[in-house]
Each structure stands twice: as C-alpha cells, then as structure tokens.
Amino acid sequence: MTAALEALGEVTELRGAVRSGAALPLVAPRDEDALVELVRRARGDGKRVLPVGNGTSLSFTNLATDADLAVTTRAISGIVAHEPDDGTITALAGTPLRELRAKALAGGHHLSPELPASCDATLGGAVAAGRSGVDRLRFGPMRNQLLGTRALLADGTITKSGGRLVKNVTGFDLHRLYCGSHGSLCILLEASLRLYPAPEAVRHLVLDARDVREALRLAHEVRATQLAPWILAIDADGPDRPAHLHLELAGREAVVEHELSTLPAAWRAAQIARDDAAREEHAHYADGEGDARRAAIVRVASRPSRIDEVWARCAALLGAGSPLHFVRVQPALAMLELRLDPNEPQRVADLVRDLRSGLRDLGSRVAVGGDARLRRLTNCFDEVGPSLAWMRALRDRFDPHGLFASGRGAGGL
C-alpha cells in the first residue's frame, strides 16, 4: 500500500487524529490528478479517507472513528487569480493563508479571516474548518468571505460552486455549505475570497479595568455608539483579576480621528498606539489567539444581550483552584474563550460538562479544543439539536458510500 501511495505523492504520518490512537499514513498528492486517482483507488478498495490541510484545526474536531489514511492538499498550492480592481483573490486549497495575505496587502487590500501570523493554516483547511480571525467583528465569519469553490466529491467528480467575482456568483451556495464541514462532504481544491481595502490609519487602545465585569460595562458603552471597530475584546487572567479592554479602530485617517473624538469619556485614560505602533499591538493581540495545541480552549457562544449573565455563570462555575490560565471576552460577538491547563484533561472535561449544563437555559453553546487526551474525554461540539437529521441527510447525499472518515464533526458526522 505504501508504495502505491508514494507513487502519488509524499507519504508521512499523522498522529492524534483517530480514536484508536493509531498513526495514519498522510499522503500529500503532487497535483489534482494524483488526488483524484487517490480518491478513486480508496473508494475502490473500501478505504476511509480523512481530509486535512496542514492540521492546524484538528485540535478543534473530535477524533475520527474510522479512517485508513489521511490526505492533505498542501502540495496543491498557488495563487490562481488576483483581481485588485474587483477586490477578489483565488488560490488552490493548499496555499498558505499568510501567502494570500501578503499578496492582497501588496495590492492594497486586507484578507479576511486574519489568523495569527504564526498559524500555518492553508486556504482549504481554513475554509473546511470555518475558521474566523481577529477581524470577525468588522468583516464577519469565513463563510461571508467565500465567493466560490472547486471541490472533489466522493465519487471522484470535480464540481464548481459560486464564482471568482462578486458579480457572477450564481446558483446554489454549496461553497458555503462546505465551509465548516470539516472534510465530511468533499475535498476542497480551490477557493475564491473577497478582499477589503487595507486601512489607511490604525489606532489600538487599551483601557484597564478592575475586573471583567467592569470591562464589560465599558465595552457596552462603546457598543452603544455608532463605531464599527475591528477589535473590541476583554483579556484577563481570571474572574477577579484586573482586565484589559482592547479597542481597535481602522480605516481612513479622518474617519478614525473622528471616531476617537466620539469615544465615551472613560477612554481618555486609555493607552493609544497609532499606525505602525498600533499594527505591532494588533499583531501581538492576534498572535495571542488561542491555540489548542498549547492549551485546552473552551469557547462559549452566546447572545450579545446575555453576555454579562453568561460570564457571571462561567465565573461561578470556574470557582477556586480551576485550571484557568486566561480568559478573553468579545462582547459584540457574544463570544467567550477560556484557556485552561492542557495537563489536566479530566478537570477540563468536567468543566465543559458543567458549562454545557449550566448555560443551556441561556441559549449558549460550548465547544472545546485540545490534544487527543482531552478529545477522548469529551465531545468537542455541543449538542446539535433538530438540525442533525438534515446534516446527516446531506452527508449521505454527498457521500453515500462513506468514503470520508466520520466521527470528527458535530453529532458524530
């Protein structure tokens, strides 16, 4: 088997991806033809395939229950088209996002999602994982950026959805269905993203508060204005520890200066970094985004109107002596992230169970990411609800013979 795989591309190993704990052969097909041939052979031999990009998002998926080999598109890379006048870019799935970001910036544009500079995510992997970046407050989630895709289906056919330009996106939005499907429906080959004008001016403000509760009050004052910040987030080392409120404004110079002048009075005490210094602060903030390979990450999604109550319950459930290292709250997105000790997987799993039970009546959802030890103890995804039947029906329609490995998505998909 190894010799046959090596004829199609480089073969290494992937660990920590399946519930059995076994290492999977990881194949990097040299081109699309080799990838199609691999899928054809796997289907004919009854093998289960686990699609991955560079593996940077695997920590936020469940361990697969049945896989014989993994396939990565990282060797199928390159920018296919860049249209600065239209504000779009198209690339093959294995293209690193940082390469796309540099290309977009050279043309005067910002690429979203903005993942940490240290992240090695590929375009296809980021789309399949539905990843969002630190700029989500301004530009929305990954699915909002996606204009179109080419994808390899389980039967070996290559299909297109959407297009490369905003004005010619027609038909069913299957490309948005693929976004966040974690490789359960197809293997992405190519994707097109919209671009945004790069900001002329940047201001990064940091305001200190006694604790997260006070920082939330200050954040709500900003939300009550007409401002459209890139970042509005609270960082703290614990429920009763001092908090730091980050606010980033970016855009045209005159607009940003006007926005500064309209901030609530409390922000006169904030530290302000401007332009190059602000971009350094932004990069530092972005690189501080949670990485489940270095810490167990618990993410709570809520409603903006309930974020204060959600935080109060989380703080109570954490209690004294919890394995919490750091908390980040994004009030306008109603997102809360807890970073915990990865060396205490059972305590983290117990906390996830308590959070899901204690927050359910508030309409919150709790997701968790970490190494294989933690993912064996808990489900990375919260309960799906009535939509699970539809999700299973879609998967059965796209992959009736079960080519793609199951178990790592929500609801066991």
Per-residue DSSP letter, 229: -
Going along the chain from its start, the domains and CATH numbers come out as: 1-198+384-413 (3.30.465.10), 201-287 (3.30.70.2190), 296-377 (3.30.70.2740)
Residue 324: which residues within 8 A CB-CB, separation 6 or more?
Answer: 238, 318, 338, 339, 340
Q: What tens digit of pLDDT does each residue of 244-255 get?
A: 999 999 999 999
What are 318-357's pLDDT values in tens digits?
876 778 889 999 999 999 999 999 999 999 999 999 999 9
**pLDDT of 31 higher than 60:** yes
Report whether pLDDT(126) > 80: yes
Q: What tens digit of pLDDT does each residue of 394-403 get?
A: 999 999 999 9
Confidence (pLDDT) at 169: 56
Confidence at residue 289, expressed as pLDDT on a 0 to 100 scale:
64
pLDDT at 171: 66
* 3-state DSSP of 294-307: CCEEEEEECCHHHH
In this predicted structure, what is the pLDDT of residue 283? 87
Query: Taking the alpha carbons of 127, 130, 136, 139 in that order, is the dihedral positive or negative?
Result: positive
Q: What H or E segment, with its residue span, contains residue 106? A: helix 97-106
pLDDT at 167 over 70: no
> Average pLDDT in the 46-66 region?
93
Give the pTM: 0.93
